[in-house]
A and B are shown apart, each in its own frame.
Chain A
Amino acid sequence: MSKIYVRNLTKTYGGLKALNNVSLDIESGEFLVLLGPSGCGKTTLLRCLAGLETPDEGEIIMGEKVVFSAALNIMVPPGKRNLGMVFQSYALWPHMTVRDNVKFGLDVLKTPTPVANTRLDDVLGDVGLGALGERYPSELSGGQQQRVALARLLATQPPIFLMDEPLSNLDARLRMDMRVELKRFQSNAKATTVYVTHDQTEAMTMSTRVVVMKDGEIQQISPPDQLYRQPENTFVADFVGMPRINLIELTAENNVSPCYSNGDLSLDIGWVPGCSHITVGARPEDISIKDKTVSGEENFKISAVLPNGPETIVQLTRGKTTLITRVSHDSKFVEGQTVDLSFNVNALNIYATKTGSLIMRDPVEDLKAC
């Protein structure tokens, strides 16, 4: 019922295309996360959905209703779109108490006082601010302010939630707790949610689908696990994942063989993508290393060992190639050591170096190879 359709949305500021022909379907009740580097147009897209920004081209449909259409010259004002928004700065009204802040939306809807009061008590109780209703926003901690912004959104029970980096002003601990709560409120309300963040963990843990953007264009729309396992181009591959993916540029040894190399490393990827220059995307966990047994040509030297709690990040070097791998925290590798390495070939993604886009592995050919 509150599905959102975005069609060919374009928004320019001066000469800059903040959004370039963006199309997107958002399912009812979905938790959609917008992810991307700074300045890629996430906030702009969100503000266009809210009606705070008028796009130049395209169409936005919410449920059955066209809320924006450049062609039909329709622009429904923000207050008539029946949605709620949490701003990055929270945008709490400093001259109103917590209670009045939350009540404002109900006032606008002319909710009868007794109903409004019950609703207020419920919402404030839910977000854990029951006792702080008479305080002013400047008398609250950052986390409490965040909850007020959330309560304000929940009070009028809109079917659509928009959130622009709502947790970015909180410290790491609090952010983790709030994630869980946000998610709970969202699924209770069954609200269609569009959520902007910089934080990958946030994107991965909360979303049903993630939209990765770059320079005003959508790069990929996928559920989080697929986004990690199968990025559709090298930009997404590089952007998603910590530590970063290894992107290794290789050249075919000959046209029919699945063997590729770059002078430091040669790799049998197991199938023939039909491209002479490929970029292999290997997640750190897809590279495993073990102590050197026989001395041979293809050995990498450990150039850094970085313990990080449950895992240890190991940096390997050979010639011009540097690789990152991730091993268990109890492994005993030391800097300077020479190691053998092997790839989990099935997990690798192969990109055409020229275009940077993923080359799909043809299942039939795969069978033949077996």
Chain B
Amino acid sequence: MLKFFDSSLTGSGKFHKAITDPVNLVMLILLVILAYLVIWPFIQLLIETLTWGDRDRRISPDAVPGKFTSFYWQQATSGPLSRKMLYGPLLNTLITGVTATIMALLAGGVLAWCVVRSDMPGKRWLQPVLTLPYIVPSFAIALAWEAVFRSPKVGGQPGIYEALLGVGPPEWLSYGAFPISITLAIHYFPFAYLLVAGALATIDSQMEESALISGAGRLMTLRRITFPVVAPAFLAALILTFGKTIGQFALPFILGAPAQFHTVATMVYANLTLGLDALAFVLAIVLIGMSLISIWLSNRFVGNKTRRFETISGKGFRSREIALGGWRWPIFIAVALFAFVVGILPLILLGVQSIMLIDGFYGLENLTKHFWVGRSNPDIAFGEPGVLHNNIILGATWNTLKLAFISAIIASVIGLVIAYITVRRAHNPLARALDQIAFIPFLFPTIAFGAMYLTLFAEPVGPIPALYGTFTLLVIISVVSRLPYSVKTGVTAVTQIGQELEEAAELAGASWVMRFRRIIMPLSSSGVLSGMMVSFVGVMRELSLIVLLITPSTRVLMTVGFGYAEEGLTQLSNALVLIVAVLTIIGELILMWIGKGKMARLREKQS
């Protein structure tokens, strides 16, 4: 055990010192807690799929609860239901995931080039609009799509498409692989855009100029220099985007379930609602497997290369914009139009839908404020009162804010502590283990992670009471799922704080807790604050993670909105999702504002 602590320490006195070092103590405690919250749930999930459950006597006469069985895996992989249960959804997941990823990357790549490398006008305000689809819940885009292409053939009222054209849209346009791929692409292209833009911004334009001087033409330069240099980042973006699409639950559910189109993620949910828990868990593990494979691939193909391809940027780095010439304005108009259609139009559609008395009937006399401010009226929406008088919704709003706020703060503080340990104890294997455990939630598709927590804390464990259905459980899972991000933010912040600053405090006699509180926290505050805001927004729009864990008393806006959408109460679900979208946009604006303030302060310091 001794060698895990400071290697310079030998002898029992030193051992005593190592064990009483508060950093080591905190490290050990965090390790145990995180192992319990991250690794154990996965093992438990695996065990659940390999043992008979309490109620399984009715499935098979020789089911002994708690005994090993491969029944569920066999059922999922080779049983008569396997096509419907596993292979169909698997194929659907791959098709929609790959299609969406390719579209997202193409759109994101082209836009990134326009914004970063060309002299297209209006970049300053196009950029935030282009990131809108990723900021709002993915679910919002699905609802907006539905508002346009809803088809009465499947059920419900006609959408805008039918109202305008008089004929219903073909079914492939309303539900299934096509709309799911498109909306996933719309939701994720900003993610790809940000990754590629980051890579493009690090290109030294002298690299391209050098090729031009050698006599290479613009196209040859693009082909032989620019593309290869961003290729690794592009590939990484491709795989990360794919990994994100497969975990999406709400969006494929809204646009797929009405037509019996299932992905693995929606199948997990469907099985759980049918009470087929073990099967759902099998699918969750399949989903985790897909995610792990994609991350492994990305590390394998990209990891080594990026390090090698690292652009060497020293003194003299230049990034110059490429003149579009006569294409400047046409390209601007195309990009602005695109930004409007994917960024703003969906929100407008949701807004309009939420004030229509009778869904699908388009006319001024059909407009109503009822779904926002109306009192309960048994003739409308089964007597559900308008959003602003609806106690369920007010409660959910309160829960949402509370959950996002508490989780963001806890995640940031724990993230900072873990980051501190990782940076300052870089040579301690336990510190590295802690860092890696904190990263693992990133590998779990959110719906699968939610499924794991179904069984965790279902019964009291030692001093911990059963937590299923409590708000605490939501906080715990939200915090753990944010840790990979908050640790990363923390590492960036802590790395910038010189060791000497802390040593000076140590010489002055400050204890570790005091140093952490008085030196590390204030100095990293601006970075951690924006990380906190990112977590806040992230938790607020989260659905897949917690949808399985929600009970009536812990409802949040997203789950209520999802519930309404499932029941066909379109206006209410639209109104709710719109509220979440507006809240997240406000969050992002605050974030931008914090960022700007920080920049201004830095500039002041320099001058």
Question: Chain A residues in contact with chain B, CB under 8 A?
Answer: 50-52, 77-81, 83-85, 87-96, 104-105, 108-109, 136-139, 142, 145, 152, 156, 164-165, 168-169
User: Is B204 on the interface with A (CB-CB < 8 A)?
Assistant: yes
Contact B317 A89 (CB under 8 A): yes
How many residue pairs between the two chains, A and B, have CB atoms under 8 Å in the bound complex? Answer: 99
Contact A137 B312 (CB under 8 A): yes
Closest to A162 in B: B213
Interface string of B530-542 (1 = CB under 8 A from A): 0000000000000
Closest to B305 in A: A95
Contact B215 A108 (CB under 8 A): yes
Contact for A138 among B204, B213, B309, CB less than 8 A: B309
Contact for A94 among B210, B310, B316, B318, CB less than 8 A: B310
* Distance of A108 Cα from B212 Cα, bound (Å): 10
> Given A91-B206, A93-B207, A104-B224, A79–B309 Cβ distance below 8 Å?
no
* Distance of A29 Cα from B309 Cα, bound (Å): 37
* Distance of A169 Cα from B206 Cα, bound (Å): 15
Contact for B206 among A79, A89, A142, CB less than 8 A: A89
CB under 8 Å from chain A, chain B span 278-309 = 307-309
Contact A80 B307 (CB under 8 A): no
Closest to B225 in A: A93
Specify which chain B residues have a CB less than 8 angstroms from the CB of A77 in the assembled complex. 212
Specify which chain A residues have a CB less than 8 angstroms from the CB of B225 in the assembled complex. 93
Contact for A104 among B204, B211, B308, B314, CB less than 8 A: B211
> Given A91-B207, A94-B310, A108–B216 Cβ distance below 8 Å?
yes
Contact A94 B217 (CB under 8 A): no
Closest CB of chain A to B227's CB: distance in Å? 9
* Distance of A108 Cα from B219 Cα, bound (Å): 12
User: Is B231 on the interface with A (CB-CB < 8 A)?
Assistant: yes
User: Is B460 on the interface with A (CB-CB < 8 A)?
Assistant: no
User: Is B315 on the interface with A (CB-CB < 8 A)?
Assistant: yes
* Distance of A164 Cα from B308 Cα, bound (Å): 26
Specify which chain B residues have a CB less than 8 angstroms from the CB of A142 in the assembled complex. 314
Contact A89 B215 (CB under 8 A): no
Specify which chain A residues have a CB less than 8 angstroms from the CB of B207 in the assembled complex. 91-94
Contact A91 B204 (CB under 8 A): yes
Interface string of B306-329 (1 = CB under 8 A from A): 011111111111100000000000
Closest to A50 in B: B213
Specify which chain B residues have a CB less than 8 angstroms from the CB of A94 in the assembled complex. 207, 229, 308-312
Closest to A104 in B: B214
Closest CB of chain A to B221's CB: distance in Å? 9
Closest CB of chain A to B555's CB: distance in Å? 51
Closest CB of chain A to B325's CB: distance in Å? 12
Q: Give how many B residues have a beta carbon under 8 Å from the other chain's beta carbons.
A: 30
Contact A79 B216 (CB under 8 A): yes
Contact for A169 among B211, B214, B220, B316, CB less than 8 A: B316
Closest to A149 in B: B210
* Distance of A201 Cα from B584 Cα, bound (Å): 59
> Given A93-B229, A109-B215, A169-B315, A136–B308 Cβ distance below 8 Å?
yes
Closest CB of chain B to A96's CB: distance in Å? 8
Contact A84 B312 (CB under 8 A): no
Closest CB of chain A to B319's CB: distance in Å? 11
Specify which chain B residues have a CB less than 8 angstroms from the CB of A95 in the assembled complex. 228-229, 231, 309
Contact A138 B210 (CB under 8 A): no
- Beyond the given pairs A50-B213, A79-B214, A94-B311, 12 more chain A to chain B contacts, judged by CB atoms under 8 angstroms and listed by A's residue number, are A87-B210, A88-B206, A89-B312, A89-B317, A91-B204, A91-B206, A93-B207, A93-B225, A95-B228, A104-B214, A105-B215, A108-B215
* Distance of A181 Cα from B246 Cα, bound (Å): 57
Contact B214 A108 (CB under 8 A): yes
Closest CB of chain B to A227's CB: distance in Å? 25
User: Is B209 on the interface with A (CB-CB < 8 A)?
Assistant: yes
Closest to B307 in A: A138
Can you offer 19 A-B residue contacts whose CB atoms are under 8 A? A50-B213, A79-B217, A85-B209, A85-B213, A87-B209, A89-B204, A89-B206, A89-B315, A90-B312, A91-B204, A91-B206, A92-B207, A94-B229, A94-B308, A105-B215, A108-B214, A109-B215, A152-B214, A165-B316
Most buried by A among B211, B225, B307, B312: B312
Specify which chain A residues have a CB less than 8 angstroms from the CB of B217 in the assembled complex. 79
Contact B212 A78 (CB under 8 A): yes
Closest CB of chain B to A89's CB: distance in Å? 4
